[in-house]
Structure 1
Amino acid sequence: MTRVHDMGGRFGDGAVDPSDNAVFAKDWHARALAVTLAAGALGQWNIDASRHSRELLSPKDYGRFSYYEKWLSALADMLVSQGVITEEELRSGTGQGESPISAKALKAASVAATLSKGSPYARTEAPDPAFQAGDRVRTRRPSRNTLVDGGHTRLPAYAAGATGTVKLLHGAHVFPDANAHGFGEAAEPLYAVAFSARDLWGQEASAQDEVILDLWQSYLEPA
């Protein structure tokens, strides 16, 4: 099963307009980003879990929410599900006593250093690479999380069962299908794989175009 966010190749959504390159279309968008980053600094979830929370939005809400409304809605769900705040606190906008994780709050003086540090997801401990540049590979079908029914995965539905060519190995990286659900980092080799646009999108695509996806090793098999 796919969720509403997996929109690649779907008809009816219109062309992507690259002309709008505004950093924040509205003033509150910057605050939404800041609140999301500050909440993430509490250490109660990881980036893969946060992505999964956005995937869990209902199709109705996902379709009507703007980009940062999706962020805030998913953030509210995580804050409550992880016990950081209660539903009553969320509704009222007022905290009830001091939080047991208040010491983890991101201070203004620490913001610059925290952002510049980033969150590298490359790892050294992982299975040996099974493929190398030039190998033909086929993606898993269906494109589902094999660890958790309905779980997070970075294999897009439009590329499930497609055959492509390995362009390069990125090294080993945290495996999102496991990391989003509390199963540890389970790092795997990560590859850049090129697919013919026509193989993915049909004859409407240009024969000259290709799509390059970053795919974890367990998504792939020899073609």
Structure 2
Amino acid sequence: MNGVHDVGGMQCFGAVRPEPDEPVFHAEWEGRVLALTLATGALGAWNIDQSRSARESLPPAVYLSSSYYRIWFEALEGLLGRSGLLDGGFAARARTWPEMKSALDASNSFARETDSPPQFAVGDRVRARMIHPAGHTRLPRFVRGQVGTIVLVHGSQVFPDRDAVPIGEPADQTPEWIYAVEFSGTDLWGPDSDPTVTVCVDAWEPYLEAAS
């Protein structure tokens, strides 16, 4: 979806000012929100792409006025309600710490095997497709329609756009190849951009087409 979460290249938001020596959490509740998100995600009631979609689908005014972990909290509340966990409709049993640790360790890799060979190779020139999906996507707006060069073939993972279906519906988890695609800053931002700037985007194969 084209939402306020995808602000790359948009103007009028001011400069990005990194916080010096920024702590991992600015308040104790933020750590709890992260822990709750990881713990409830391990229950299997939703997948990672549905979780991302829940954050991106928050009302624009809420998203823009909320801190990072406030966004996570608001999205988690919605996920818990839609899955039935909040009203007791989901039959979940308590997980032991060894089970939780195993689930967290397993979540560090999202690689999937596929029998299909990659369509592109390092050095190929590709164009990011001009798409405007109504649902979740990982292709930033600012690279759509632009031509870049593949600099790395990552492997294959579940395609987020097909995985982020409404809770309760079966997700298509057929893996797709992922490529690191490098774009010139001047191609993305115009002649006023720093000519030394490049932007590298990880893009699933369905997002790309061969550049003519």
Tell me if both proteins adopt one fold, taking TM over 0.5 as the criterion.
yes
Partner of 2:118: 129
Partner of 2:91: 101
Q: Provide the aligned length of Structure 1 versus Structure 2.
A: 206
Contact 2:42 2:100 in 1 (8 A): no
Aligned pairs for 1:59-74 within 5 A: 59-74=60-75
Matched, 1:160 2:144: yes
Matched, 1:178 2:167: no
In the alignment, the residues of structure 2 paired with residue 13 and residue 70 of structure 1 have an alpha-carbon distance, to the nearest angstrom, of 18
Partner of 1:5: 5
Pairwise CA RMSD:
1.7
Report the secondary structure of 2:139's partner residue. Answer: coil
Deviation at 1:20, TM superposition (A): 4.5
Partner of 1:214: 202
Which stretch of the first structure deviates more once superposed, 1-10 or 132-141?
A: 1-10
Report the secondary structure of 1:199's partner residue. Answer: helix
In structure 1, stretches of 5+ residues that fail to align are 87-97
Once the two structures are superposed, residues 30-51 of structure 1 have per-residue CA deviations (whole angstroms, 9 ceiling, x without a partner) of 0110111111111100000000
Deviation at 1:129, TM superposition (A): 0.9
Report the secondary structure of 1:102's partner residue. Answer: coil
- 1:120 corresponds, among 96, 104, 109, to 109
Report the secondary structure of 2:178's partner residue. Answer: strand
Partner of 1:205: 193
In the alignment, the residues of structure 2 paired with residue 194 and residue 107 of structure 1 have an alpha-carbon distance, to the nearest angstrom, of 43
Q: Normalization by structure 2: what TM-score? A: 0.90
Partner of 1:24: 25
Report the secondary structure of 2:149's partner residue. Answer: strand
Once the two structures are superposed, residues 74-128 of structure 1 have per-residue CA deviations (whole angstroms, 9 ceiling, x without a partner) of 1111111111123xxxxxxxxxxx665231x333454444323324211112532
Pair 1:17–1:197, CA change in 2 (3 A): same
In the alignment, the residues of structure 2 paired with residue 191 and residue 33 of structure 1 have an alpha-carbon distance, to the nearest angstrom, of 29
| Counterpart amino acid of residue 176 in structure 1 | P
- 2:128 corresponds, among 131, 139, 149, to 139
Structure 1: 4+ residue segments shifted above 4 A: none
Contact 2:84 2:90 in 1 (8 A): no
In the alignment, the residues of structure 1 paired with residue 171 and residue 97 of structure 2 have an alpha-carbon distance, to the nearest angstrom, of 32
In the alignment, the residues of structure 1 paired with residue 49 and residue 118 of structure 2 have an alpha-carbon distance, to the nearest angstrom, of 23
Q: Normalization by structure 1: what TM-score? A: 0.86
Matched, 1:40 2:41: yes
In structure 2, stretches of 5+ residues that fail to align are none
Contact 1:159 1:200 in 2 (8 A): yes
Deviation at 1:52, TM superposition (A): 0.3
Which stretch of the first structure deviates more once superposed, 47-56 or 183-192?
A: 183-192
Contact 1:132 1:166 in 2 (8 A): yes
Contact 2:114 2:175 in 1 (8 A): yes
Pair 1:183–1:115, CA change in 2 (3 A): closer
Contact 2:156 2:177 in 1 (8 A): yes
